Amino acid sequence: MALSIHALILLLERCLMNRPARTRFAPSPTGRMHLGGARTALYDYLLARQSGGQFILRIEDTDTRRTVPGSEQELIEGLRWLGLEYDEGPDVGGPYAPYRQSERREIYHHYAWELVEKGAAYPCFCSPERLERVRKERQAQKLNTGYDGFCRHLDPDEARRRVRQGEPHVIRFKAPREGTTTAVDLLRGPITTPNFMIDDYILLKSDGLPTYHLAAMVDDHLMGITHVIRGSEWLSTFPLHVLIVRAFGWEEPLWVHLSVFLKPSGKGKMSKRDASLAMDSGYSIYIGDLRALGYVPEGVLNWIALMGWGVEGDDVMTLEEMVRRFDLKHLNPAPAAINFSKLDHFSGVHIRRLPTAELARRLQPYLPAADLPLLERIVPLIRERLITLDEAPQWVDFLFQDEVHPQPGELVGKNMSVEQTKQVLRRALEILESFPELEAKAIEAPLRALVEELGLSAGQVFGVLRVAVTGKTVSPPLMESMEVLGRERTLNRLRKALQLLEAQSVTEGA
């Protein structure tokens, strides 16, 4: 107990000192990069940048059976797209390379045996068959199914001899049987666990590769990690982890276990099935999908930042603003329900905040027929309307079509006759033909005057012109659309619409 209070004071002191943080994002390349991983990486990044420290990417790939080819690349691309640049990592190197755990095998071997030498770990020769039999027996007796400690009391010299002779073995942690262990999580405070509940976990597997428990503790120490920010799934083995660090005699990092994400209904954790349901409705929990769906990284970051961070005041933030305002003390350990309409909100807000040239550049892949100067003219037409970048074509496709095909039924406005509609088109043509080019500012007043002149509403007159020029009842602002479309094409479309109605009147008259 004395130690844990001492540790607690040390931790708090360090927290207050605000020394440069070295944080790491340590994903296992076992699947796709999702919101949970991205949020951990974001908080790691914010803390490192804010304190003038470093943010590290470490790939935890020692569970080779679960490794999914391509997932390391997806993680790296996800981080780059989000703008979470790391200072050290497998592809950029750094003073503590290698940053891929599969390339650090000898290091873990060395440290596993250091624990054996210290009497805090031991080789275990139990076969998988024996372990399975014991597990079943204990289950039947309603005992806990952890390791029964068969090899714990082997004579150390005898055990070493068997290892030297090449007998298959693992290295297990020798968890204390008496007393309690207090581990301090920054968000949850001290967590005390009776030691008999802590299993003799495997540290080094029979294939010579470490488990997470050993590899992560060793690397966090060797890489000088000051804050371990990770998912709450690690809370159950948290006491083991602090015991391992203490057995080595190392200084503990600050531990932060983040909240879990719940499905949008708030009932239960997100499952694979929920993830595909989200996709069916145009959303996703995977970073690569959100990118493909046309969300902007600024919006995605803002959205995930607030899942567990109780920010005070304006919650619209760029990455730089988050760096300034981030505070571990404001993180909330309570589960957070995923709210996709907030994603839409933040994506739209951040699209509107992008400078014109930047938004134009980002829209280029979605509107390949337009060059940058044209895109910069299109941006003001649609900026206010976009939630995702991929919506751009549906707003401005009429600019890239040779002709549009308005429906006669849509051309003729509400409570208007065909005759009145033709009149609108004829008069608009006369007005616009008198301009050498169609500048939105210049044509606005005469077109508004036309509304007066015809005794119709603005909605009626502009509705007719909108359908004639864009082929649709909903479009970006009309005058600006005409300006970007250009004089010739605008006039042609108005003439075509007029002809369409005239042809129709003839048919109807016949």
Q: Which of 272, 329, 414, 441 is catalytic?
A: 272
How much is the CA Rg of the chain, to the nearest whole Å? 32
Of residues 47 and 461, the one with the C-beta less far from ligand GLU? 47
Backbone angles phi, psi at 412, to 5 degrees: -75, 115
Of residues 307 and 500, the one with the C-beta less far from ligand GLU? 307
- How many residues touch ligand GLU under the rule CB under 6 A: the total is 9
CB of 231 to ligand GLU, least distance (A): 6
Task: Give the integer Cα–Cα distance in Å for 295 and 284.
Answer: 11
Q: Which of 11, 21, 26, 203 binds ligand GLU (CB under 6 A)?
A: 26
Of residues 296 and 331, the one with the C-beta less far from ligand GLU? 331
Of residues 11 and 432, the one with the C-beta less far from ligand GLU? 11
272 is catalytic: yes
CB of 58 to ligand GLU, least distance (A): 8
Q: Which stretch binds ligand GLU (CB under 6 A): 10-18, 21-29, 417-425, 440-448?
A: 21-29
Q: Which stretch binds ligand GLU (CB under 6 A): 23-31, 81-89, 187-195, 253-261?
A: 23-31
**What does the per-residue mask of binding to ligand GLU show for 166-205, with x meaning CB under 6 A?**
----------------------------------------
Of residues 219 and 298, the one with the C-beta less far from ligand GLU? 219
Bridge partners (DSSP) listed for residue 56: 24, 88
Q: Please choose, from the candidates 489, 480, 469, 487, the residue with its C-alpha nearest in 3D space to the C-alpha of residue 378.
A: 480
Q: Which of 7, 22, 28, 35 binds ligand GLU (CB under 6 A)?
A: 28
CB of 216 to ligand GLU, least distance (A): 5
Per CB under 6 A, contacts with ligand GLU among 226-285 are 230-231, 234
CB of 27 to ligand GLU, least distance (A): 5
Question: At CB < 8 A and 24+ separation, what contacts does 233-236 make?
Answer: 233/260, 235/185, 235/191
CB of 212 to ligand GLU, least distance (A): 6
List the helix and strand counts (H, then E) for the chain.
22, 11
In contact, 242 and 252? CB cutoff 8 Å? yes
Q: Which of 23, 27, 174, 484 binds ligand GLU (CB under 6 A)?
A: 27
Q: Which of 216, 275, 290, 389 binds ligand GLU (CB under 6 A)?
A: 216
Q: Which of 11, 35, 38, 60 binds ligand GLU (CB under 6 A)?
A: 60
* Torsion on CA atoms 285, 289, 290, 292, rounded to nearest 10: -170
Q: Please choose, from the candidates 3, 13, 72, the residue with its C-alpha nearest in 3D space to the C-alpha of residue 37.
A: 72
72 near ligand GLU, rule: CB under 6 A: no
Pairing of strands 180-185, 22-25: unpaired
Backbone angles phi, psi at 296, to 5 degrees: -90, 145
Spell 112-151 as b/e; 16+ CB within 10 A means b. Answer: bbebbeeebbbbbbbeeeebeebeeeeeeeeeeebbbeeb
Of residues 230 and 325, the one with the C-beta less far from ligand GLU? 230
In contact, 26 and 37? CB cutoff 8 Å? no
User: What Å distances lie between residue 436 and 233, 293, 449, 486, 493, CA to CA?
Assistant: 68, 41, 19, 10, 17
Go through the chain and tell me how many residues it has. Answer: 510
CB of 230 to ligand GLU, least distance (A): 3
CB of 363 to ligand GLU, least distance (A): 35
CB of 115 to ligand GLU, least distance (A): 19
Secondary structure class of 121 (helix, strand, coil): strand
Task: Give the integer Cα–Cα distance in Å for 227 and 78.
Answer: 22
Per CB under 6 A, contacts with ligand GLU among 121-160 are none
Please list the active-site residues: 272
Interface residues toward ligand GLU, by CB under 6 A: 26-28, 60, 212, 216, 230-231, 234
